[in-house]
């Protein structure tokens, strides 16, 4: 187990797990995307006698704090096919600018709210040495990995929600589940509605959590926070959290309102909407949208378009 400190708002560190059967080494996740973090991963693994070029990297998803090694180093890495296109975020961020602009227009989100996002698309150099606006190539060889496949006894489980192709990795003999960001020990994983993502990420997330319940698990090894010794309890807690949030958002619906107006009334665990940071607001807005979409799918909310802008109301 290797903990890599994160230079971002959010989790304190990313945890990487190396699994060695004496013949082969599998490494779950690849750390943060900065070159500095990548070198930390490389030297940390070397300290355990593991060479990154001989290892097989199993990546839970495409987010910035999970794919570092595969971006900067010539390693062999596997991801769910739905995740691979999102690596373009790091090589050609402008590619994503247009869908995001459409997204803000469609849901009537003021540009000021998504400035933290748009700055990623246009900045020559963003903080934390994450280069954007500059094309870089993905150095690793990225190969697809589907639900139900096995890699030397490691079972691959597709668990969408937090991202469309999020994967968990299960070791049956050890009854160990490597849960990526799906199950964390303290915080509840962000589930947002973004361009290119599933149209029902909250529904996906709840189904993914339920899917984990069908496995015999002694220990969950998450990508952040602490190892989880009471897996079923934690999974049920998380399902309860998402269902509670859904009811809360449903209770806020009345006459047609825009997503930002609804998001500003939610009792966020990180604080009042007005007091959230720029990034916090982006997450709160896209999370509210994800729950609204779930409610619409379930027939518990209505989405109506007026002058090109989408509003949500009770049914
Ligand atoms: Zn993460």
Buried b (16+ CB within 10 A) or exposed e, 196-229: ebbebbbbbbbebbebbeeeebeebbbbbeeebe
- Which of 32, 29, 24 lies closest to 51 in space, CA to CA? 24
- Give the model's pLDDT for residue 33: 87
Ligand 1 center to 128 CA (angstroms): 16
- Which of 140, 139, 168, 174 lies closest to 155 in space, CA to CA? 168
DSSP 8-state assignment for residue 21? -
- The Cα 83–Cα 78 span in angstroms is 10
> Residue 233 burial (CB < 10 Å; 0-12/13-18/19+)?
exposed
Ligand 1 center to 87 CA (angstroms): 15
Ligand 1 center to 249 CA (angstroms): 25
- Give the model's pLDDT for residue 121: 67
- Give the model's pLDDT for residue 7: 82
Ligand 1 center to 83 CA (angstroms): 14
Structural Rg of the chain based on CA atoms: 20
Q: Give the orientation angle of helix 231-251 with respect to helix 278-297, to 10 degrees.
A: 80
Q: Length of the chain in residues, anyone?
A: 315
Structural tokens at position 81: 């096919």
- Give the model's pLDDT for residue 129: 39
- Give the model's pLDDT for residue 96: 81
- Give the model's pLDDT for residue 126: 42
Ligand 1 center to 224 CA (angstroms): 7
Ligand 1 center to 6 CA (angstroms): 10
Please state the domain extents for the chain: 2-314
Tell me the helices (H) and strands (E) count for the chain, helix number first. 9, 13
Cα-flanking dihedrals φ and ψ of residue 237, to 5°? -60, -45
Structural tokens at position 237: 């807690």
pTM for this prediction: 0.93
Judged by DSSP in three states, 150 sits in strand
| pLDDT tens track, the chain, 315 positions | 999 998 877 789 999 999 998 899 999 999 998 888 999 999 999 999 999 999 999 999 999 999 999 999 999 999 999 999 999 888 877 778 888 889 999 999 998 888 887 776 665 544 443 444 455 688 999 999 999 999 999 999 999 999 999 999 999 999 999 999 999 999 999 999 999 999 999 999 999 999 999 999 999 999 999 999 999 999 999 999 999 999 999 999 999 999 999 999 999 987 899 999 888 999 999 999 999 999 999 999 999 999 999 999 999
Ligand 1 center to 262 CA (angstroms): 26
Structural tokens at position 185: 């020990």
- Check if the beta carbon of residue 104 is closer than 8 Å to that of residue 121: no
- The Cα 102–Cα 98 span in angstroms is 6
Strand partners, 304: 311
Arch. (CATH architecture) of 2-314: 4-Layer Sandwich (3.60)
Ligand 1 center to 177 CA (angstroms): 16
- Give the model's pLDDT for residue 240: 97
Ligand 1 center to 223 CA (angstroms): 6
Residue in the block written with tokens 């982006």: 282
């Amino acid at each position: 187990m290797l903990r890599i400190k994160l230079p971002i708002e959010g989790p304190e560190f990313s945890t990487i797990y190396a699994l060695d059967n004496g013949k082969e080494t599998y490494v779950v996740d690849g750390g943060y995307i900065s070159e500095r973090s990548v070198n930390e991963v490389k030297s940390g693994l070397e300290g355990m006698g593991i060479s990154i070029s001989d290892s097989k990297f199993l990546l839970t998803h495409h987010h910035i704090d999970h794919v570092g090694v595969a971006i900067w180093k010539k390693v062999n890495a596997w991801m769910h096919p739905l995740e691979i296109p999102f690596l373009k975020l790091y090589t050609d961020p402008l590619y994503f600018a247009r869908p995001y602009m459409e997204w803000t227009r469609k849901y009537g989100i003021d540009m000021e709210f998504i400035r933290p996002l748009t700055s990623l698309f246009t900045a020559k150099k963003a903080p934390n040495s994450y280069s954007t606006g500059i094309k870089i190539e993905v150095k690793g060889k990225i190969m697809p990995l589907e639900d139900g496949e096995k890699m030397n006894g490691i079972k691959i489980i597709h668990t969408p929600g937090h991202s469309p192709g999020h994967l968990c990795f299960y070791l049956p003999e050890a009854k160990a589940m490597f849960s990526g960001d799906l199950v964390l020990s303290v915080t509840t994983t962000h589930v947002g509605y973004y361009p290119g993502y599933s149209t029902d990420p909250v529904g996906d997330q709840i189904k993914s959590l339920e899917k984990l319940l069908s496995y015999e698990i002694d220990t969950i090894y998450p990508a952040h926070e602490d190892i989880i010794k009471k897996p079923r309890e934690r999974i049920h807690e998380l399902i309860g959290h998402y269902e509670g949030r859904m009811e809360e958002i449903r209770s806020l619906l009345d006459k047609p309102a825009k997503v930002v107006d609804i998001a500003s009334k939610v009792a966020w665990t990180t604080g009042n909407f007005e007091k959230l940071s720029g990034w916090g607001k982006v997450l709160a807005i896209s999370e509210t949208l994800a729950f609204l979409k779930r409610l619409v799918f379930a027939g518990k909310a209505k989405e109506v378009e007026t002058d090109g802008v989408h509003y949500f109301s009770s049914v």
